[in-house]
Amino acid sequence: MKVYFRLIAASAALLICNYTHAQQTDISNNYKSEAGLRHLKIERQMIYSPEKEWLYNHHASIVNFKNRLIALWSDGLLNEDSPGQRVVFSVSTDFKHWSPIRVLATPEKAINDTLKVLTAAGFYKFNNTLVAYYGEYEKNRTNTHLWAKTTIDGVHWSDPIDMQVPLIPNHGPERLKSGRLIISGNFSFPYTDDHTGLSGWQMSSFYPDSLYTQDNSATFYKPAEKSGLPPLCEGSFYQTNDGLIHMLLRVTGKGWKGHLWLTESTNGKHWSRPVETKFTDNDSKFHFGKLPDGRFYYVGIPDTLHHYDRNPLVLALSKDGKHFDKQYIVADEPYQLKKAGLWKGGQYGYPHTMIYKNEMYVIISRQKESIEILRFKLSQL
């Protein structure tokens, strides 16, 4: 009996340990408005702007592979995440000129003869191989799967490889100091110790396994409600020098109150209960990372005065990974929507970033219709 109670006490201590990190971390920014902030000198190029068809374009990612820039995104007929949505890519050797879009993956038909929905989910590189990920589900947001294709030249791709995890990622895999890879999902963050990123993925979340069976754009509401949390989704993380993994989360729907939330982990397996931060947010996807000089960065929309406008696009910097107290305007020019569609909107949608040759590249969607890429020299920072 004594052994039993010792085991219970040890388990409770472990649970407390797993759920204390975020309570101790105060992550914040100091964004108030665009007024007085320095505008970075940027280059920009429209990668794809549709004319009369395939008018929904979103979820973009950018990578450099063998001296080529490759952009990946979701491409739909008109409305967000509707049957028939596919995944496409475009290639450039000079940033200014981009190839016509090429199809990476097209959806199959479900049992009911309706086309499935595909969502672009980012890149990962190992050795001389590039991996592109994409999610799949049926019209009613069921039967979620993660797939991958590989290439050694950026043009010809392998057959689909089943990653054996039921999620639509927010960003592609990123490597921890230990070598472990983590995918940022909505509320689940699969991890693997396979350096190729093609096998061994294990689901993990701050929610108990009993509260979810899949992670996509419709499944984060119920577990949040049952856990007494707002609707948390679309994470992005960075790891500080002490090894702690900080996963910031968007809050959407009726739960939005203008701030990001935070869950943390020491290993990618166990995550703390999320808490609200003092980092402002417009209700959009964002991307965190680390500069070559060791500073941490955020690219996103911190404005709270114009909910869901997704403007301006801001870069925030932090020396300690807690206080993002240096802000720059990356872009704020408006884009005129060509054709209205379901949920189409937002001037600078879902940024993804890349550091390459002392420049930062930022790819975004414009009102979920066109795909644009920006870049600027890090020396400005």
Residue 96 has, within 13 A of its CA and on its CB side, a CA count of 2
- Average pLDDT, stretch 71-93? 97
Mention every residue, 6+ apart, whose C-beta is less than 8 A from residue 356.
64
List the one residue out of 211, 175, 221, 178 whose CA is nearest residue 196: 175
pLDDT on residue 248: 98
pLDDT on residue 23: 53
- Residues 98-108 have pLDDT tens digits of 999 999 999 99
- Residues 14-62 have pLDDT tens digits of 443 444 445 556 899 999 999 999 999 999 999 999 999 999 999 999 9
- Average pLDDT, stretch 268-290? 97
| Residue written as token pair 């020098």 | 241
Phi, psi of 217, deg, nearest 5: -70, 0
| Residue written as token pair 């949505």 | 85
Handedness of CA 310, 312, 315, 316 (dihedral sign): negative
How far is Cα 296 from Cα 285, in angstroms, rounded to an integer? 17
| Residue written as token pair 């960065």 | 297
| Residue written as token pair 């890879």 | 181
- Average pLDDT, stretch 270-278? 97
pLDDT on residue 22: 52
pLDDT on residue 361: 98
pLDDT surpasses 50 at 12: no
CA angle centred on 162, ends 371 and 143, rounded to 5°: 80
- Residues 317-340 have pLDDT tens digits of 999 999 999 999 999 999 999 999
pLDDT surpasses 90 at 8: no
| Residue written as token pair 């921890």 | 176
pLDDT on residue 112: 87
| Residue written as token pair 């990578």 | 63
By percentage, how much of the chain surpasses pLDDT 70? 93
Q: What is the pTM of this model?
A: 0.93
pLDDT on residue 25: 61
How far is Cα 348 from Cα 331, in angstroms, rounded to an integer? 8
pLDDT on residue 20: 44
Q: In what order do the strands lie in the sheet with 323-324?
A: 232-239, 245-251, 259-265, 275-280, 28-29, 323-324
Q: Are strands 275-280 and 259-265 parallel, antiparallel or unpaired?
A: antiparallel
pLDDT surpasses 50 at 226: yes
pLDDT on residue 285: 97
For 301-325, letters b (16+ CB in 10 Å) and e give bbbbeeeebbbbbbbbbbeebbbbe
pLDDT on residue 26: 86
The answer to whether 44 and 351 have CB atoms below 8 angstroms apart is: no
- Residues 244-265 have pLDDT tens digits of 999 999 999 999 999 999 999 9
pLDDT band at 115 (very low <50, low <70, confident <90, very high): very high
CATH topology of domain 2-380: Neuraminidase (2.120.10)
pLDDT on residue 9: 40
pLDDT band at 7 (very low <50, low <70, confident <90, very high): very low
How far is Cα 279 from Cα 261, in angstroms, rounded to an integer? 8
pLDDT band at 113 (very low <50, low <70, confident <90, very high): confident
Task: Determine which helix (DSSP H) or strand (DSSP E) holds 365, and give its type and residue range.
Answer: strand 359-366
Residue 349 has, within 13 A of its CA and on its CB side, a CA count of 22
The answer to whether 230 and 210 have CB atoms below 8 angstroms apart is: no
The pLDDT mean for the chain works out to: 94
- Residues 157-206 have pLDDT tens digits of 999 999 999 999 999 999 999 999 999 999 999 999 999 999 999 999 99
The structure tokens listed for 190 are: 């699969």
Sequence ranges of the domains in the chain: 2-380
